[in-house]
Chain A
Amino acid sequence: MDYSLFIISTLQFLALLVSAPAVVGLIRLLKARAQGRRGASLLQPYRDLRKLWRKDEQVSEDASWLFRVAPLISAASVILTTSMLPVLHVTVLGPGSDMILAIYILMLSRAMLVLSSLEGGSVFGGMGGSRDSMISVLIEPALLLSIFSLAALAGSTELSSTAQFISQGGYLIIGPTLILAAASFCITTLAENARLPFDNPATHLELTMVHEAMVLEYSGRSLALMEYSSWLKLTVFITILVNGFLPWGISSALDPLSLALASLAFIFKLILALGLIALLESQMAKMRLFRLPNLLTTSFTLALLALMAFYIL
């Protein structure tokens, strides 16, 4: 019995790791289709990674050891978080599925990114780093409050327990708390992963870039690791969104039928979320940097209301 739990949790962990580039590829493809272009194939991010992996690496003379280590730590922390997520079955491979822990491990990856952006000694890097720290300072309270309201609803900060509780709680669980917390988490997902109203993922060498500015100095394998960890981080956030806030379909049994249903449900929810992101990104323009606090405070207020609604109503 334990053996099969181990196998299924390993399989879902590996599946997330492997599918992260395809997730980004799918967003790009859907976005291209929404804009009337043909778009690159789903496999293009894999080809990009292979290309980068074979290339030589250039390191700035001013950079210290941190510049070399940062991509490794960043990728390792995101991979560790991935192992803490229930995908098809409520068990996890990693050290529990505590969401507060997971979020702060992800913050480690972000801290590494910001520190390494200063290493190259270029102006762009520091600019991107300072913008990214501003955004992350504003995201953190909203992110944690939406997790807290989920935790208050389900009585646990473990994603496995909340997923089980909500998916088995019937229709009555769909109340103000869950809806508001999910809405707040959607905004923070976009902000945390440098998606459109916050940062344009398609820009390169523009004054408005945030995430791209930070990885500008990287090349070769380090760039491949940086890119991969940012893609994986997007996948992690979407998984938390669909399995934490709309976990219907997740399986807590081990028979093949319920696992097959769970994977169908997960893929359906994943594609729905990606489609929404793609649609949003083709509709919206990037927001001015100084207007970002408005949207992030909205997200914070939504999360605060979610928590309040749990106690008031």
Chain B
Amino acid sequence: MTEIMMNSLNILAVGILLASLMAMTTPRMGQLIRIFTLQSLMLAGMAALVGYQTGSEHLYIIASIIVLLKVFIIPRFLNYSIERIKVKRELEPLLGIPGSLLLSAAIVVLAYFVTEPVISLTEVITRNCLAISLAVTLIGLLLMITRRKAMTEVIGLLMMENGLFLAVISTSHGMPLIVEMGIFFDVLVAVIIMGMFAFRINETFETSDTSILKRLRY
């Protein structure tokens, strides 16, 4: 029973990592949002499975909040924003797709080596996911660095947050419910503010390319 559980947890964890990698390969906004939705869905599944395995019921609540927030509300809001500022595609990324994929693979290896001493110390069922959560966080950061449109950077930030949440689930089976609620609320507010901000950037500069923001005058 535990083995099936562990196997499905591993498959979900690798699926989350794979979603991050797929986000590196696509320049299309709509596809990026769909990938983020899928990743959040897998994260919710993982939270529910860990909740079932460890018997901590508040993880069910958290899983349902993830579904509500990151699968329905935030993707809808993102879609609405890209509709409004009319970005469909990313500009040419600063690093080509093969290069960024190879870099992400290197990040996965690095994350494994960094977390290995920690992994060997713990006994929790989800300990393997720590390396993956670090990798997902760093790949989210890489996505933010290599892309130039404001909306892609929002998605990169959300993916980083998914990685951090994965780390929370895998090391300590979730934080106290009230802290989690606070974080979710923060994320929601942050996304709304960033969406507004992207809209303002677009209105002021007539583009949402963030690389021109460093100039004083457009």
Cβ A305 vs Cβ B17 within 8 A: yes
A304 at the interface (CB under 8 A from B): yes
What is the chain A residue whose CB lies nearest that of B26?
A: A294
Which residue of A172, A179, A297, A312 has the most chain B CB atoms within 10 A of its CB atom?
A312
A301 touches B14 (CB 8 A): no
Q: Looking at the complex, which one of B4, B14, B21 makes contact with A171 (CB distance below 8 Å)?
A: B4
CB <8 Å contact, A172 and B10 = no
Q: How far apart sit A290 and B13, CA to CA, in the bound complex (Å)?
A: 32
Q: How far apart are the CA atoms of A313 and B132 in the complex, in Å?
A: 10
Q: Once the chains are docked, how many angstroms separate the CA of A308 from the CA of B14?
A: 10
The residue on A at minimum CB distance from B131 is: A312
- Secondary structure at chain A's binding surface: helix, strand, loop or mixed? helix
Given contacts A176-B10, A308-B112, contact A301 B101 (CB under 8 A): yes
Query: CA–CA, A302 to B19, complex, Å?
Result: 11
Contacts of B3 in A (CB 8 A): 172
Q: How far is the CA of A292 from the CA of B33 in the complex (A)?
A: 24
Q: Tell me how far the C-beta of B67 lies from the nearest C-beta in chain A, rounded to whole angstroms.
A: 23
Residues of B within 8 A of A (CB-CB), count: 23
> How far apart sit A312 and B98, CA to CA, in the bound complex (Å)?
24
CA distance A161 to B161 in the complex (A): 43
Provide the bound-state CA to CA distance between A84 and B132, in Å.
38
Q: What is the size, in residues, of chain A's interface with B at 8 Å between Cβ atoms? A: 21
Q: With contacts A172-B4, A175-B11, A297-B97 known, is A312 near B102, CB below 8 A?
A: no
Write the nearest CB–CB distance from B111 to chain A, whole angstroms: 9
With A301-B21, A313-B128: A308-B7 Cβ-Cβ less than 8 Å: no
CA of A304 to CA of B104, assembled, Å: 11
Contact A297 B11 (CB under 8 A): no
Are the CB atoms of A301 and B105 closer together than 8 Å? yes
- Give chain A nearest CB distance to B160 CB in angstroms: 19
Query: Which one of A176, A293, A301, A309 lies within 8 Å of B104 (CB-CB)?
Result: A301
* A313 touching B97, Cβ below 8 Å: no
Q: Is the CB of B14 within 8 A of A313?
A: yes
A283 at the interface (CB under 8 A from B): no
Q: Which residues of B (102-118) have their CB < 8 Å from a CB of A?
A: 102, 104-105, 108-109, 112
Would you give the shortest CB distance from A141 to chain B, in whole angstroms? Answer: 11
Complex Cα distance A293/B21, Å? 15
Are A297's CB and B112's CB within 8 A? no
The minimal Cβ–Cβ distance linking A148 to chain B, given in whole angstroms, is 15
Residues A309 and B14 in contact in the complex (CB < 8 Å), given A172-B4, A175-B7, A301-B105: yes
Interface residues of A in 289-311 (CB under 8 A from B): 293-294, 297-298, 300-302, 304-305, 308-309, 311
Q: Does A134 contact B (CB under 8 A)?
A: no
Decide: A297 and B98 in contact? CB cutoff 8 A: yes
A304 close to B105 (CB less than 8 A): yes
Q: Is the CB of A293 within 8 A of B98?
A: yes
**Which B residues fall within an 8 A CB radius of A?**
3-4, 7, 10-11, 13-14, 17-18, 21, 25, 97-98, 101-102, 104-105, 108-109, 112, 128, 131-132
**Which 3 pairs of residues, A with B, have the shortest CB-CB distance?**
A176-B14, A297-B98, A294-B97
Contacts A/B (CB < 8 Å), 24 sampled: A175-B11, A176-B10, A179-B11, A180-B14, A180-B18, A294-B97, A294-B98, A297-B101, A297-B102, A300-B101, A301-B21, A301-B101, A301-B102, A304-B105, A305-B21, A305-B108, A308-B108, A309-B10, A309-B14, A311-B112, A312-B112, A312-B128, A313-B10, A313-B128
